[in-house]
Structure 1
Amino acid sequence: MNTDELIQKLTESIKVTSHIDTELFTKYNVKRGLRNEDHSGVLVGLTTIGDVVGYERQEGAALKAIPGKLIYRGIDVEEIATSIDQEKRFGFEETVFLLLAGYLPSPDELKTFNTLISEQRSIEELSKFSILQLQGHDIMNILARSVMIMYTFDDNADDISPENLMKQAVSLIAKFPTIIAYAYHSMRHNYHGQTLAIRHPKDNLSIAENFLYMLKGQDHYTELDARVLDMALVLHAEHGGGNNSTFTIRVTSSSGTDTYSSVAAAIGSLKGPLHGGANLQVMDMFNHLKGAIHNWSDEQEIKSYLLKILKKEVYNRKGLIYGIGHAVYTISDPRAVILRDMARDLAHEKGRDQEFEFLELLEKLAIETFMEFKGLNVNKQVCANVDFYSGFVYEMIGLPREVFTPIFAMARIAGWMAHRIEELNFESKRIIRPAYKNVSDRKQYLPLNKR
Structure 2
Amino acid sequence: MGNDKTYEEAYTEITPEMMELARLCERTDQIDPALYTKYDVKPGLRDLNGKGVVAGLTEVSRVQAKKIVDGKEVPDAGHLYYRGRNIEDLVRGFASEGRYGYEEVAYLLLFGELPDQNQLGRFHDILARNQSLFPQNFVRDIIMTAPSSDMMNVLARSILTLYSYDASADDISLPNVLRQCLQVIAMMPMFAIYGYRTYQHYYLGKSLVIRQPKPELSFAENILQMLRKDGKYTDLEARLLDICLVLHMEHGGGNNSTFTDRVVTSSGTDSYSVFAAALGSLKGPRHGGANLKVMQMMADIKENVKDWTDKDEVAAYLTKILNKDAFDHSGLIYGIGHAVYSISDPRAVILERFAKQLSEEKGRAEEMALYHLIEETAPRIIASKSRMYKGVSANVDFFSGFVYDMLDLPRELYTPIFAIARSVGWSAHRLEELARRGKIIRPAYIAVHDNVDYVPLGQRG
TM bin, normalised by shorter chain, reads: over 0.9
Does structure 2 conserve the Cα–Cα contact (< 8 Å) formed by 1:134 and 1:142? no
Residue identity matched to 1:44: A
Q: Could you tell me how far 1:8 is from its partner in structure 2? A: 2.9
Partners of 2:202 and 2:63 in 1: how far apart?
41
Q: Secondary structure at the match of 2:131?
A: coil
Do 2:83 and 2:113's aligned partners in 1 also have CA atoms closer than 8 Å?
Answer: yes
Whole-angstrom CA distance in 2 between matches of 1:390 and 1:303: 22
One-letter code aligned to 1:344: K
> Structure 1 residues 102-111 or 216-225, which shifts more?
216-225
Which one-letter code corresponds to 1:415 in the other structure?
Answer: G
Separation in structure 2 between the aligned mates of residue 321 and residue 366 of structure 1, nearest angstrom: 8
CA deviation string 1:101-153 (max 9, x = no partner): 01000100000110111111132332223431131110000100000000111
Separation (CA, whole Å) in 1 of partners of 2:253 and 2:312? 41
Aligned with 2:87 (options 71, 77, 83): 77
Aligned equivalents of 1:193, 1:212: Cα separation in 2: 22
Task: State the match for 1:442 in structure 2.
Answer: 451
2: CA distance, partners of 1:272 / 1:329: 20
State the shift of 1:212 in Å: 0.6
Contact 1:140 1:406 in 2 (8 A): yes
2:194 corresponds to which of 179, 182, 199: 182
Pair 130,229 (structure 1): closer, same or farther in 2 beyond 3 Å: farther
Aligned to 2:41: 30
Q: For 1:356-371, what aligned pairs fall within 5 Å after superposition?
A: 356-371=368-383
Which residues of 2 match residues 13-52 of structure 1 at below 5 A? 13-52=24-63
Runs of 4+ in 1 over 4 A off after TM superposition: 57-60
The answer (yes or no) to whether the contact 2:143–2:154 under 8 Å persists in 1 is no
Alpha-carbon distance in 2 for matches of 1:130, 1:107 = 38
- 2:279 maps to what in 1? 267
Distance 1:217 1:335 in 2: 30
Output the CA distance in 2 between the equivalents of 1:420 and 1:97. 15
3-state secondary structure, aligned to 1:67: strand
Structure 1 residues 134 and 143, CA, compared in 2 at 3 Å: closer, same or farther?
A: farther
Please say if residues 130 and 142 of structure 1, whose CA atoms lie closer than 8 Å, have aligned partners that are also in contact. Answer: no
Instruction: Report what 1:255 is aligned to.
Output: 267
TM-score normalised by the chain length of structure 1: 0.96
Match for 2:214: what amino acid? K
Q: Which amino acid aligns with 1:142?
A: V
Say whether 1:195 aligns with 2:207: yes
Q: How does 1:291-306 map to 2 (within 5 A)?
A: 291-306=303-318
2:26 counterpart of 1:9: no
Aligned-pair distance for 1:11? 1.3
| 1:390 lines up with 2:400 in the alignment | yes
Q: Which residue does the alignment assign to 1:215?
A: 227
Contact 1:132 1:186 in 2 (8 A): yes
Structure 2 residues not aligned, in runs of 5+: 1-13
Cα distance in 2 for partners of 1:345, 1:416 equals 31
Question: Retained in 1: the 8 A contact 2:62–2:80?
Answer: yes
Query: Which secondary structure does the structure 1 equivalent of 2:144 belong to?
Result: helix
Q: Quick one: which amino acid aligns to residue 420 of structure 2? A: M
| Residue matched to 1:165 | 177
The corresponding residue for 1:242 is: 254
Q: Distance in 2 between matches of 1:170 and 1:18?
A: 42
SS of structure 2 residue aligned to 1:69: strand
Given that 1:367 and 1:382 are in contact with CA atoms closer than 8 Å, whether structure 2 keeps it comes out as yes
- 1:189 to partner: Cα distance: 0.7
Q: Does 1:422 align with 2:432?
A: yes
CA apart distance, 1:57: 5.5
CA contact (8 A) 2:209 2:229 kept: no
SS of alignment partner, residue 280 of structure 1? helix
TM-superposed CA distance for 1:186, in Å, is 0.5
The number of equivalent residue pairs is 445
CA offset at residue 18 of structure 1?
0.9
Is residue 397 of structure 2 the alignment partner of residue 407 of structure 1? no
Q: Distance in 1 between matches of 2:286 and 2:38?
A: 27
Q: Report the Cα distance in structure 2 between the residues aligned to 1:324 and 1:75, rounded to whole angstroms.
A: 26
CA–CA distance in structure 2, aligned partners of residues 401 and 130 of structure 1: 23
Bigger drift between 401-410 and 84-93 goes to 84-93
Q: What residue identity is the alignment partner of 2:75?
A: A
Distance verdict in 2 for CA 1:443–1:59, change over 3 Å = farther
Contact 2:100 2:239 in 1 (8 A): yes
1:130–1:182 CA contact under 8 A, matched in 2: no
Q: Distance in 1 between matches of 2:451 and 2:67?
A: 44
Deviates more, 1:439-448 or 1:336-345: 439-448
How far the C-alpha of 1:266 sits from its partner, in A, is 0.2
Q: CA deviation at 1:429?
A: 2.2
Structure 1 stretch displaced more, 200-209 or 5-14: 5-14
SS at match of 1:33: helix
What residue ranges of structure 1 are gaps of 5+ in the alignment?
none
Mean CA deviation greater in 102-111 or 153-162: 153-162
Q: Kindly state the Cα deviation for residue 441 of structure 1 after the two structures are TM-superposed.
A: 1.5
Give the partner amino acid of 2:20.
Answer: K
- Residues 354 and 256 of structure 1, relative CA distance in 2, 3 Å threshold: same
1:156 aligns to 2:168 (yes or no): yes
Measure, in 2, the Cα distance between the counterparts of 1:99 and 1:332: 23
**RMSD of aligned C-alpha atoms?**
1.4
Distance in 2 separating the partners of 1:441 and 1:9: 24
Q: Residues 203 and 320 from structure 1, CA distance in 2 versus in 1: closer, same or farther, beyond 3 angstroms?
A: same
Paired residues of 1:54 and 1:330 also in contact (CA < 8 A): yes
Work out which of the residue numbers 335, 351, 366 in structure 2 matches 1:339.
351
Question: By how many angstroms is 1:16 displaced?
Answer: 1.0
Distance 2:143 2:42 in 1: 44
- Matched-pair contact (CA < 8 Å) for 2:336–2:393: yes
Amino acid paired to 2:329: R
Distance 1:4 1:184, change over 3 A: closer
SS in 2 for 1:144: helix
Partner SS, residue 25 of structure 2: helix
Question: Contact (CA 8 Å) 1:130, 1:179: kept in 2 or not?
Answer: no
- Equivalent residues of 1:134, 1:145 under 8 A apart: no
